[in-house]
Amino acid sequence: MRKLSAVALTATLMGVVAFGSIANAATKLNLSVPDAASSSIGVAAQEFADQLNEKSGGELEVTVYFDGSLYGGDATAAVTTMQDGGLDMLCLATSWYASFDDSFNVIQIPYLFKNVDAEQAYLNDEASKPMWDAVEGMGVKFLAAWTRSFRMTTNNIRPITKPEDFQGIKLRTPGNQIYQVFFGDGCGANVTPMSFSEVYTALQTNTIDGQENPADVPFSSSFYEVQKYISATNHIGEAWVVGMNPDKYASLSEDMQKLISDTAQEMQEWKKNYDNETDQADIDFMVEQGMEYNELDEEGFAAFQEVSKSLYPKFQEIVNNDELWEATLAFAEAH
């Protein structure tokens, strides 16, 4: 009897230990981003994950996947993949959410914000709330919106100093109407939407002449190997939407939900500061690799602003939300 009791006791203790291990096992979450690990959003996503892993005391185990690897590099498929539960968390630019809701085009309006601080204030203001409500309406838990550095232009034809310099340039853009109207109708570029995963090869083979993105993208994607000019056109700011599968979010404890939501919002300031510190270093590196860098003078900048304003009637039709359009323009003018 004593031997049987000892065996039974040992089995019981082992069961308790096993149950405790299961109960204490970390909840594993994947976090997907479209760009490389060295890109601004790649670094920010990794910092976000590291903070969650540390602050949760081991209750969360967040792993970042770069270059759109979890959704085949197709950004439009990323949202539906998260809706279906294939992704737990996702950082994706607002321009891609515009594929699902025209309202998101409003933040793509060229030369809308004076600087990144004004853009960040807008992201946190009631004026932008309809967009984040729309994210929720798509079946995505909205966590935060992070700023993105204003976009620059790289190409192999000439420096860009005024709108006319885009004439005839085969320019890759996202598949977004605002970009196509501004660069095509407004500046005379030969706009060529394509998947980002194809851009390096297209530049290398001269299928396209250039592309436009924040400075960290040509840096992290090594476009300096196949591009000659980088111009600080600073035409569009846009933002990153940090979203989560709502079922996965709901499955977590209230403490973990709050941790994720609070940390995502706190990361907004971290991301902006990181970009401010690293953008110039990225540009300096690309110049060292042989690229020529130029900024716009006041006359050139004003000319681009006028092109954008002349297209406002078209932009407003694209946004297709007059209330959001008016609230956004009023906010931008006041800041």
Contact assessment for residue 256 and residue 27, using Cβ atoms and an 8 Å cutoff: yes
**Mean confidence (pLDDT) of the chain:** 92
**Per-residue model confidence as pLDDT tens digits over 184-229:** 999 999 999 998 889 999 999 999 999 999 999 999 999 999 999 9
Residue-level pLDDT at 245 = 97
Q: Name the pLDDT band for 248 (thresholds 50, 70, 90).
A: very high
Residue-level pLDDT at 20 = 43
Q: Does residue 19 carry a pLDDT above 50? A: no
- The C-alpha atoms of residue 99 and residue 119 are separated, in whole angstroms, by 21
**Range among 11-15, 92-96, 237-241, 313-317 with highest mean pLDDT value:** 313-317
Please, where in the chain does CATH 3.40.190.170 lie?
26-148+238-278, 152-236+282-334
Q: Does residue 11 carry a pLDDT above 90? A: no
Name the fold adopted by 152-236+282-334.
D-Maltodextrin-Binding Protein; domain 2 (3.40.190)
CATH class for the region spanning 26-148+238-278: alpha beta
Q: Does residue 135 carry a pLDDT above 80? A: yes
* Angle, in degrees to the nearest 10, between helices 312-319 and 298-310: 50
Greater model confidence, 80 or 285: 285
| Cα dihedral sign, 187-192-195-196 | negative
Pull the structure tokens for residue 272: 């902006």
Residue-level pLDDT at 95 = 87
